Amino acid sequence: MTHPALRPTWQFKALALTLVLALTACGGGGGGGGTSFPLIPGPSTGTTQPNTPPSTDAPPPVAEQPPPTCTAAVPANAPVTAISSVQGTGDTSPLATQPVTVRGVVVGDFQNTGTTTVKLNGFFMQQLVPDADPLTSEGVFVYAPNNATRVAVGDFVQVSGVVTEFGQTAGADAKPDSLTQIAGTTADPLAISVCASGIAISPTQITLPVANESTLERYEGMLVEIAQPLAVTELFELGRYGQMVLALNGRQFNATNGNAAATHAQNLLSRIVLDDGSSRQNPNPIPYLSAAGTDGTRRIGDTTQKVTGILSHNFAAYRIQPTVAPVFAQANPRSPTAPVVSGPLKVASFNVLNYFTTFVNGETSSGQTGQGCSFGTGPASAANCRGANNLNEFQRQRAKIVAAIAGLDADVVGLMEIQNSDVATNDLLAALNAKVGPNTYAAVNSGVFGTDAIKVDILYKPAKVQRVGNAVLPTGTDLADYTAASGRPPLAQRFSAVGNNGGFWFVVNHLKSKGSCPTTGDIDQGQGCFNLARTQQANALNSFVAKLKAMDEDETDVLMMGDFNSYLLEDPTKVLEAAGNESLLKRMPADNRYTYVFGGETGALDHAYASSSLGSQVSGVSVWHINADEPTALDYNTDFTTDDRYAPTPFRASDHDPVLVALTLAADAAVTQPIVSASVPTAAKVGETYSVNIFEATPGGATTLTSLAVDWGDGSAATTAPGTGTVTHTYAAAGTYNVVTTLTNSAGQTATQSGSVNVSAVVVVVPPGPPDLFFSEYVEGTASNKAIEIYNPTASAVDLSLYTVRLYSNGTATPPTNSQVLSGSLPPGGVLVLANASAAAAFKPAGTFTSGVVNFNGDDALTLEKSGVVIDRFGQVGFDPGAEWTVGGVGTLNRTLRRKPDIKAGDRNPGLAFDPSVQWIGLPEDTSDGLGAHTVN
């Protein structure tokens, strides 16, 4: 889950913006992958928002008439110039930076009204008589803030000011996309005179598609109209900036999804951004929704027959600021219930959009603080967590996810993007059963696996299907090839239908995303980034599935579902189909074959594949379009939300639509396999009791339990367990060990549950030593304003050559990121300041020593060592807290911290949890007046 960054305020800052639509592990992109004309993002920022888009009636056409006379004075250095000459024939004005006087008719009034109605802080004017050059625009924007003369549509005005360009996208490959405007400067203040009123200009008709990127430049600043039917094709920025993307000929599909012949480049030439005539971020109310309450939405595919307004060009897009409120038809209404698929069993897959019970602020759903998330069994850090920022957001997220899964009413559900622990799965399971009924669903207890912070998992209805043996993960080359790119192995579980024992393997997948593109190697070549990696994963999946088919009684019916991050005509899907698997979405009507929208292009990233023997037993397939078509603003997030339209409904529960498959399975002979489930904690301490809880040990059928044991992976003897319950062990040495619980039944069949544990040495709390140097001041300020102060509390001068300051960045444990050996002598009661070389003078009192070790952020740790022994620390070495350590209102990011005066010795325990509020006083950012001296009580 990503959130768009704040953009510079309209007209108040120079714009430096490159379009970035961040992709989470769910994927997106592809099909050309560019962010060129006329893609989002949209207009600039501000403070308030009109209640509705501009609704000024379009003026009727009138006969050509001579321009009125303006009697206002014309500055000597700003000659009267035609607007078309100001615009010129290029992307930017040939008169940029020059004072001019222009005359024309106001065709769009977007002046702010006090502080209550913030629009665009100006107006658009258009010369009354066009020139003879079709390549020049007759319109221009006038930046008229604060107490500028008020104007109205139809006024004939004279404006004097300086020609400038606003809104240019920055970057080496940025294309000219700024808006030409007239603005005032100190030397040449803006002068506006209203010469006449009631003059009408008819909108210029423009049509899509345009011939090339620059075609619309000739209409910049003019009143225009698109009278072609247009469809909503992108809603990503609707709640953030009040804009959407409209396209000709219906919603646009990704070129590699197989729905249309249009290429990515052709799609870009057939769209326009519809803005809201405002510069406000997070508009309240959100414009263009279908209703005022939480039922209001605007879905991709909805249509409008005409758009009238001013054509603007900035922020990487041509956009229309409407002068007539557009009218939308709900051509793609919501479906309140899941589509009906005919068959005794229903199987679904659903990307749950980073469902984490540990939040990015270090809290958990159970109320713990200071917690983190792991990449598999690696070190835990809040920086590894995804999804909800806090408990409030999580509760909103959970309610939506539960509503969606309950609405699917599937008998087996494959999950993607759930936190890599059974804690998150069990939390979702409990909430789901609380809604649909106790014990309706169960989990396969997959544990922690892979090397990502997220995993796939499986829920099922015990009343409809039974597990046949334990869940299975790939091994060997299959595992290595699949996880090399993403660290997320597939998960397989064999099921049999209650009633006729019809069996099948269910395999849940989540392939490498298309985002976070590299600059070389597996770059985007028309199928999104990392296509080669996904193709390798598809081959590994085929190999894994072939081995599943050969296991036990040779069950060959296999259903693969999940987020494959590949559209229907891309290489990974072709690899799967070449192995004899049917792409079930291809049974659906072409216009319904989608689960995701990225960059205004629709396609299917989520799929279902049936093995050749299962295909005839598939009796239905569909997609419930509850997410991809909905505005991002309707999800669970609370950031950037002033008009909160949240509702605990399935709509925008995630960014992917769930896929639903119906099975009518042929009867099979009954098959029994043992099942064992055990919790394997991922962390332990040397010498402390480590416990594995075996909570499921089923021999299967008429067999009996022969043995049940836990192998601890450290070479010690396995521990025999009499049945379910807790089994304990004590590790003698630090390391990572594979813990395997094995059940054997009387038929000689076995079931195993495994997991890794990272065993670390116990941190010994060291008592304070004799009086010695310690850190007395910490400054983590603006830019490079960083410093650390060391105090000598002893009664004697100290030889600094015995001391070293070490920096440990981003949770590093060893080796340190940087080290600084000190030198010289420090008198009793004296201080030594180490500062960043680029820090301002205020952070470098006399005698300051500049050092590369002073290059820390709020999540980095520092130690002060004497002859190799830590005598003081700041932060916790080997732990990344996320952005900062913060407890009791005292944080380490963008703050100055001063050691409390009653602290007289350093903290010698760098591995212990760090609470800055215990020994430090928090001061505002960039406080520097304490550097250079310190006192103790």
pLDDT given for residue 6 in this prediction: 33
Q: Measured between alpha carbons, how far is 29 from 502 in angstroms, rounded to an integer?
A: 39
Give the pLDDT mean for 763-792: 91
Q: How far is CA 585 from the centre of its chain?
A: 27
Q: What letters, b where the CB count within 10 A reaches 16 and e where it falls short, cover 331-340?
A: bbebeeebee
Q: Measured between alpha carbons, how far is 4 from 21 in angstroms, rounded to an integer?
A: 8
Tens digit of each residue's pLDDT (9 = 90 or more) over 257-294: 999 889 999 999 999 999 999 999 999 999 999 999 99
Sign of CA dihedral 479, 482, 488, 493: negative
Cα distances (angstroms) measured from residue 894 to each of 131, 383, 530, 927: 56, 17, 37, 10
Give the pLDDT mean for 94-118: 91
Instruction: State the helix-helix crossing angle for 422-436 and 391-408, rounded to 10 degrees.
Output: 60
What does R_g of the chain's alpha carbons equal in angstroms? 33
Residue 665 has pLDDT above 90, yes or no: yes
Q: What angle do CA 498, 507, 598 make, to 5 degrees?
A: 125
Give the pLDDT mean for 841-860: 94
Q: Which candidate, 137, 161, 133, 135, places its Cα nearest to that of 84?
A: 137
Percent of the chain with pLDDT over 70: 92
CB 651 within 8 A of CB 610: no
Q: State the virtual CA torsion across 192, 197, 202, 203 in degrees, nearest 10.
A: 30
CB 919 within 8 A of CB 936: no
Cα distances (angstroms) measured from residue 839 to each of 785, 787, 820: 4, 8, 17
Q: Measured between alpha carbons, how far is 323 from 310 in angstroms, rounded to an integer?
A: 7
pLDDT given for residue 147 in this prediction: 84
Q: Measured between alpha carbons, how far is 124 from 111 in angstroms, rounded to an integer?
A: 10
Give the pLDDT mean for 606-635: 98
Cα atoms in the 13 Å half-sphere on the side-chain side of 839: 29
Q: Which candidate, 414, 350, 398, places its Cα nearest to that of 656?
A: 350
Strand 244-248 with 442-443, pairing: unpaired
Cα distances (angstroms) measured from residue 97 to each of 144, 182, 183, 314: 17, 10, 10, 18
Long-range contacts of 100-103 (CB under 8 A, 24+ apart): 100/160, 100/161, 100/162, 100/163, 100/182, 101/74, 101/75, 101/158, 101/159, 101/160, 102/127, 102/140, 102/158, 102/159, 102/182, 103/67, 103/70, 103/127, 103/156, 103/157, 103/158, 103/159, 103/195
Give the pLDDT mean for 2-23: 34
What is the DSSP code (8-state) at residue 920? E
Residues 6+ apart with CB under 8 A from 897: 777, 778, 779, 890, 916, 920, 921, 922, 923
CB 568 within 8 A of CB 257: yes
Least confident among 495-504, 649-658, 679-688: 679-688
CB 770 within 8 A of CB 923: no
pLDDT given for residue 66 in this prediction: 75
- Look up residue 103 and give its amino acid: R
Strand 271-274 with 317-324, pairing: parallel
CB 126 within 8 A of CB 105: yes
- What mean pLDDT value characterizes the chain? 91
The tokens describing 275, both together, are 């803005």
pLDDT given for residue 55 in this prediction: 43
Q: State the virtual CA torsion across 69, 71, 77, 78 in degrees, nearest 10.
A: -40
Q: Which candidate, 897, 912, 903, places its Cα nearest to that of 935?
A: 903
CB 758 within 8 A of CB 726: no
Place of tokens 């991709």: 300
pLDDT given for residue 4 in this prediction: 36
Rounded to 5 degrees, φ, ψ at 801 are -65, -10
Q: Measured between alpha carbons, how far is 730 from 722 in angstroms, rounded to an integer?
A: 19
Sign of CA dihedral 462, 465, 471, 474: negative
Tens digit of each residue's pLDDT (9 = 90 or more) over 427-464: 999 999 999 999 999 999 999 999 999 999 999 999 99
Tens digit of each residue's pLDDT (9 = 90 or more) over 565-582: 999 999 999 999 999 999
pLDDT given for residue 65 in this prediction: 61
Residue 864 has pLDDT above 50, yes or no: yes
pLDDT given for residue 290 in this prediction: 96
Q: Binning pLDDT at 50, 70 and 90, where does residue 377 land? A: confident
Rounded to 5 degrees, φ, ψ at 402 are -65, -40
Q: Binning pLDDT at 50, 70 and 90, where does residue 8 land? A: very low
Give the pLDDT mean for 345-349: 98
